[in-house]
Chains A and B, each alone.
Chain A
Amino acid sequence: MSRITRFTSYRHDSAMLPTTTQRVWFGVLILAAVILPLYLGTLVDGRSWLILFATAFVAAIGAIGLNLITGFAGQVSLGHAFFIGVGAYTATALGSPAVHAADGSIDLIGFDLGMLIWIPAAGLVAMLAGVIVAPLAFRLEGLYLALVTLGLVFVGEHVFRNWDQLTGGMGLGREAAQLRVLGYRFDLDSEIFGFAIAREQQIYWLMLVFLIVMAVLAKNLVRSKDGRAFAAIRDRGVAAELMGVDQTRYKTLAFAISSFYAGITGALLYTVTGFIEPSSFNLLLSIAYIAMVVIGGLASIAGSIMGAIFITLLPKLIELTGLDALLGVIIDWIPLAEGGSGEPPLSSSQLERILFGVLIIGFLILEPLGLYGVWIRIRNYWKAFPFSY
């Protein structure tokens, strides 16, 4: 039996984890996340699951960033892929060695610095890009902003494709930065106090730590004065201004912080796979992040994490559920498809994209609060069980 929580102060109401139950379960969740690799490490395909989870954690950082600007501050940005790209290439240029051509000229820019330098640098450079773009945000309202940020993705993609010395050029790409702190490599198998630790386990833990730090920072931001200012601008910009919220200042701040998160994501995301291709930073990547935020739940940090994990695990989930075969059959029913026999049904990436679309539509219509809303409803149902109705 749980009792209804009564908040007696604003401080209590806005606490990160207001009730003991939440604190306990949060602790259990963190603990489970920390010891998961020990279990997965023993499985046959456990390593691929660990990599998938690590990718999901990094993606969650980016999703939190997008949610800060779109969910909390109400500025729809389709340009997240651009900021992720800026972060990724800042990190790569700083964190991987330079490559010289045979005649001694520079083929790929690189400074071979440690992680302690390239991670903050990636965030800061992306943040700078965000601050440069922000003036558009407070000149433009609503849809016009979405369209300009859409343009940003295309312009950014063009630059990435053509700046060969930085990106390695289209179709070639280059290796991502090395996860190296003071000479210690996180991206290699190692041994600590006699325990063998796999590369995947190390990466998983590292990314988990980053996610927890960034999520706690974001949660603290949104329950502070700045977070309330974001919400005020989202709900009614003019009214916020009349109450003394400086729109220009807070929109710039929202853009800066959101881009910082995107930059960190960009820096870390490709270290997991170890490789960056310049055409990855396209509109589809932006849309994937929008899908994470919408499906996870707008204006919810926990929702962003759920959405990111869900979207990142989606291909694996499709594979496990056999959904690809099912949808392939449906597509073959469409009478216009020619032949049908010779051509393969939908590839998994096509299926993934269809599901992106369908899930975005479904969640927006049926559950605008996203997975977070679903979770709240399930929780409330069981809270009052068996008298829930």
Chain B
Amino acid sequence: MTAHAPELLLPLAALAPETSRFLQTIVEGISLAGIYVLIAIGFVIIYKSTQVLSFAQPALLIIGAYLASYVSITLGYGFWIGVGTAVLLSGFVGYLSERAVLRPMVGKPVFATAILTIGLDIALRVVAGDLIGVNVRAIGTPITSGFGAPKLPWGDTPIRWGDLDGIGGIIIEPRVFAIVLTAAVAVGGLVIFFNKSRWGLAMRGSSFDQEVALAQGVNVGRVFSLAWIIGGALAGIAGVLAATSFTGLSQSSYIVALKALPVVVVGGLDSIGGAILGALIIGLSESFTSTYQAQYLPWLGDNFSQVVPYLVMVIVLLVRPYGIFGTEEVERV
């Protein structure tokens, strides 16, 4: 699978002069981390609210990205409408999945539901893959495809800082700003939502104890739906952002979401703060491996950076079995 994995990183770091490579690698790591954060928070919200580890995120991710590409490029409605549709509909697919497939499984063992979401993922992913087809698709950008779109720094020209041939010169693609901004807005918005709104309170309550929440009048069923809508929408956004890279959207773009699983595990399955830290750890280690491994440790093989997330995950779990911020499970007999 890894060989067909989309290379999310522009090979800018490889092209840059030796002195700039380090900074360039950090920028690439951060842009990866931004995408991972969005996916990982979807995992965390679904896990906290419904006690389901959703292996269906990869499918939701490419469904979102496909819809964005279809609406904005194929139908020609422009970037923003495409993204909006993608977010709404991938949230809706998340909702449908929960309602149709996971609701009957409430109260069943976590493994059973986890395996169930694997089944869901495979079925959905084949359909999405069939729709995407064999060719790489583009998502478009606001400037080239939008009419009257606001001028975000997200065109085709990268921003250059410093002396590229000297020390500390650095190229930042506009999509990096978009990724970091989206991730920050999404995380900030969700934190405010969870802390200030009634629904946020309901979700926190039912993640703490579903039965107590039910007794307090929380509609736990709706909390489940909401969690899957948020999870689906976040996966959809992440899919769009991942597909803005020069590799575009292909059938194997879903791998990004599988690499976000280590992110969640490193941070702790039930911690949003952990997801952010985990994303930075995984994103940076992946980009640093991508830049330097071929030069210093070539015997590790091509595309080694694609398996680094899993290696980091195993190492972290050996030291801290519940992730960095994860809650330790206390088992009752």
Residues of A within 8 A of B (CB): 70, 74, 76, 136, 139-144, 146-148, 150-152, 154-155, 157-159, 161-162, 170, 236-239, 242, 279, 282-283, 287, 290-291, 294, 331, 334, 336-338, 343, 346, 350, 353-354, 356-361, 364-365, 368
CB distance from A28 to the nearest CB of B (A): 34
Q: Are A357 and B126 in contact (CB under 8 A)?
A: yes
Known: A158-B2, A279-B1, A357-B120. A239 touches B126 (CB 8 A): no
Q: Which B residue sits closest to A344, measured CB to CB?
A: B130
Do A139 and B321 form a contact, CB below 8 Å, given A236-B333, A283-B1?
yes
Taking a contact as CB atoms under 8 Å apart, the answer to whether A364 and B105 are in contact is yes
Determine if A157 and B1 form an interchain contact, defined as CB atoms under 8 angstroms apart.
yes
Bound-complex Cα distance A338 to B135 (A)? 13
Inter-chain CA distance A356–B36, complex, in Å, is 28
Main secondary structure of the interface of B (DSSP, over half): helix
Which among B130, B310, B317 is the interface contact of A140 at CB below 8 angstroms? B317
A144–B316 Cα distance when bound, in Å, is 11
Contact check, B111 vs A76: say whether CB atoms are below 8 A apart: yes
Check B120–A361 contact: CB distance below 8 A.
Answer: yes
> Cβ of B123: which chain A residues have Cβ within 8 Å of it?
353-354, 356-358, 361
Chain A residues within 8 Å of B66, by CB: 336
CB within 8 Å for A238 and B301 given contacts A334-B127, A346-B130 = no
Interface of A is mostly: helix
Name the CB-closest residue of B to A240.
B333
From A143, A158, A282, A357, B306 is in contact (CB under 8 Å) with: A158
Residues of A within 8 A of B313 (CB): 147-148, 151
* B129 x A334 contact (CB < 8 A): no
Name, among B108, B110, B111, B313, the residue most crowded by chain A CB atoms within 10 Å (CB to CB). B111
Q: B50 CB to closest chain A CB, in angstroms?
A: 13
Q: B237-283: which have CB < 8 Å to A?
A: 258, 261-262, 265, 269
Q: For the complex, is B3 an interface residue (Cβ under 8 Å from A)?
A: yes
A354→B120 CA distance, assembly (Å) = 9
Residues of B within 8 A of A287 (CB): 118, 122
A357 touches B121 (CB 8 A): yes
- Interface: B209 (CB within 8 A): no
Are A151 and B310 touching (Cβ within 8 A)? yes
Q: Which of B111, B119, B303, B304 contacts A357 (CB 8 A)?
A: B119
B6 to chain A, nearest CB (A): 15
With beta carbons under 8 angstroms apart, the residue of B124, B310, B332 that contacts A155 is B310
From B310, which residue of chain A is reached at the shortest CB distance? Answer: A151
Q: List 29 A-B contacts (CB under 8 A).
A: A76-B115, A136-B314, A136-B317, A136-B318, A141-B321, A141-B329, A142-B111, A143-B114, A146-B53, A148-B265, A148-B313, A151-B310, A151-B313, A162-B300, A239-B333, A291-B119, A331-B127, A334-B127, A337-B131, A338-B74, A346-B126, A353-B123, A356-B119, A357-B120, A357-B126, A358-B119, A360-B116, A364-B105, A364-B112
> How many chain-B residues does the 8 Å CB contact rule pick out?
58
A238 vs B331: C-alpha distance in the bound complex, in angstroms?
Answer: 7
Q: Tally inter-chain residue pairs, CB-CB below 8 A.
A: 158
Residues on B with beta carbons closer than 8 Å to the beta carbon of A158:
2, 301, 303-304, 306-307
- With most chain A CB atoms within 10 A of its CB, the pick from B3, B304, B311 is B3
State whether the Cβ of B302 lies closer than 8 Å to any Cβ in chain A: yes
Q: Note all chain B residues with C-beta closer than 8 A to A283.
A: 1, 258
User: Given A158-B303, A161-B3, A361-B123: A140 and B321 within 8 A (CB)?
Assistant: yes
Name A161's closest neighbour in chain B (CB-CB).
Answer: B3
Q: Are A154 and B53 in contact (CB under 8 A)?
A: no
B217 within 8 A of A: no
The minimal Cβ–Cβ distance linking A334 to chain B, given in whole angstroms, is: 7
In the assembled complex, how far is the CB of residue A167 from the closest CB belonging to chain B, in whole angstroms? 12
B325 at interface, CB cutoff 8 A: no
Return chain A residues, CB-CB under 8 Å to B310.
Answer: 150-152, 154-155
Q: Are A364 and B115 in contact (CB under 8 A)?
A: yes
Given contacts A364-B112, A365-B101, contact A143 B331 (CB under 8 A): no
- Chain A contacts of B300 at CB under 8 A? 162
Cβ–Cβ < 8 Å partners of A143 in chain B? 53, 110-111, 114, 269
Please name all residues of chain A whose beta carbon is closer than 8 Å to the beta carbon of B118 when the two chains form the complex. Answer: 287, 290, 357, 360
B104 at the interface (CB under 8 A from A): yes
A238 touches B333 (CB 8 A): yes
Q: In the complex the two chains form, what is the Cα distance from A141 to B317 in whole Å?
A: 11
The 3 A-B pairs of least Cβ separation, nearest first, read A357-B123, A360-B119, A162-B301
Instruction: Determine the residue in chain B with the shortest Cβ distance to A78.
Output: B118
Instruction: For the complex formed, measure the closest distance between the CB of B46 and the CB atoms of chain A, giving whole angstroms.
Output: 12
B70 within 8 A of A: yes
The answer to the question of B133 belonging to the interface, with a C-beta cut-off of 8 Å to chain A, is yes
Q: Is B194 an interface residue (CB 8 A)?
A: no
B322 interfacial by beta-carbon distance below 8 Å = yes
CB contacts (< 8 Å) of A350 on chain B: these are 126, 129-130
A148, A161, A364, A365: the one contacting B2 at CB < 8 Å is A161
> Is the CB–CB distance between B301 and A290 below 8 Å?
no
Q: Using Cβ atoms and an 8 Å threshold, which residues of chain A touch B130?
A: 331, 337, 346, 350
